[in-house]
Amino acid sequence: INLHSFLADWSEELLFELNKQGVQFHSHLQIAEETKISIDRDKIRRVFSNIISNSLKYMNKSEKEIELKAYEARGQLVLFISDNGQGIDAASLPYVFERFYREDPSRNSVTGGSGLGLAIARQMIEGHRGSIQAESVKGVGTSIRITLPLIFNEEGDRI
Ligand code: ATP
Ligand code: MG
């Protein structure tokens, strides 16, 4: 798929959807127009939606903000989805990609969820030879960093 148009379309939809919910949304896309990536559009959409829905769910502030940043580096897509939500405890951070893991399930029970979203995301991203990491500061926010390989031809040019 064409990465530039995929991300441009998606962020336009997000801007509309999130602003409707009173959430500030900013995107910074630095992707060349010809860049392609080998990925299933619907699957990657589901992964991204889950990360966004986490940002909305684990948000305890009145001024909600979500930021999308994407650029190319060393033949990879590097993408960040960041929020200014409640953040994740440093002690919990290594476990958030595990199946059924939910930070403080008793307190979280009100927000619902099965603890599978990020585990599915990791499976999907790693299945495409990419990587996914979480960075977070409790009380400040969370940032999910995803990398995925781009498609090149034999000369090393983008195709
Ligand atoms: P599901 O996605 O299956 O509905 P879930 O949201 O609990 O359930 P994950 O998406 O895998 O499961 O997230 C795992 C845990 O990581 C969450 O329960 C939450 O404690 C923490 N977490 C994930 N994203 C954020 C975020 N943006 N801010 C704060 N905590 C988060
Ligand atoms: Mg989730």
For 72-99, write each residue's pLDDT tens digit.
999 999 999 999 999 999 999 999 999 9
Kindly identify the ligand whose nearest atom is closest to the C-alpha of 103.
1
86 bridge partner residues: none
Residue 16 has pLDDT above 60, yes or no: yes
Which positions ≥6 away from 54 have C-beta within 8 Å?
117, 118, 142
Write the ipTM: 0.98
Nearest atom of ligand 1 to the alpha carbon of 141: 28
Contact at 8 Å (CB) between 144 and 123? no
50 lines ligand 1 (CB under 6 A): yes
Q: In this predicted structure, what is the pLDDT of residue 137?
A: 96
Q: In angstroms, rounded to a whole number, what is the distance separating the alpha carbons of residues 86 and 83? A: 9
Q: What predicted TM-score, i.e. pTM, was given to this entire model?
A: 0.93
Q: In this predicted structure, what is the pLDDT of residue 61?
A: 81
Q: In this predicted structure, what is the pLDDT of residue 14?
A: 97
Residue 159 has pLDDT above 60, yes or no: no
Q: In this predicted structure, what is the pLDDT of residue 60?
A: 80
Most informative mutation of 114, 118, 138 for ligand 1 (most atoms within 8 A of CB): 118
Nearest atom of ligand 1 to the alpha carbon of 102: 18
Mean pLDDT over the full length of the chain: 92
77 bridge partner residues: 72, 148
Residue 13 has pLDDT above 90, yes or no: yes
**Comparison of pLDDT for 104 and 33, the residue scoring more:** 33
